[in-house]
Structure 1
């Protein structure tokens, strides 16, 4: 009976070892779970960015206001007959 108990304890110890530290054990499970959570957060950010880009594309396809805004901001274009004033911040000159 004593040998059977020792064999069962050894088997239980081996199974516990595989559960905690073996291949596909709990440590790897928690690591994989953290990776999945991180990837889901990254995917959510990308979904939001894609939605913003799709809205911008839709706006560019449907209206001229967005095209005009991009031309003004990116290319520095102004309308004919329009006067453009550029205000620069004053630079402090050191007093001698």
Structure 2
């Protein structure tokens, strides 16, 4: 009986080691879980989706509307239409 107990105890110790510290064990699971949570917090999926939707709307507006093109050309390039008066205020 003593020899059987020793074998069973060794088997139990080996199984516990492989469960906690072995490949794909609980230690690896906790490490991977924490890493994925870290990357989810860094990348914030909802914020990225919101920004992507804004960019898609802006692209659609630039392709199908002239107001957005005019607004960008006025702001970035200083476009002035015919029969408009330009006032520059120096501070």
Is the TM value for this pair above 0.5? yes
- Deviations for 1:40-92, whole angstroms, at most 9, x for unmatched residues? 55272433222111111111122111111111222222222323334454xxx
- Deviations for 1:6-52, whole angstroms, at most 9, x for unmatched residues? 21121111111111111111121122223333445527243322211
- For residue 84 of structure 2, what is the aligned residue in structure 1? 82
Q: Which of 26, 48, 51 is matched with 2:50 structurally?
A: 48
> TM-score if structure 1 supplies the norm length?
0.71
Deviation, 1:2, is 2.0
CA distance 1:72–1:29, shift in 2 (3 Å): same
CA distance in 2, matches of 1:18, 1:88: 75
> TM-score if structure 2 supplies the norm length?
0.74
- For residue 29 of structure 2, what is the aligned residue in structure 1? 29
- For residue 63 of structure 2, what is the aligned residue in structure 1? 61
Give the unaligned 5+ runs of structure 2: none
Q: Count residues in correspondence.
A: 89
CA distance in 1, matches of 2:86, 2:20: 71
RMSD: 2.3
Range with bigger deviation, 79-88 or 19-28: 79-88
Give the unaligned 5+ runs of structure 1: 90-96
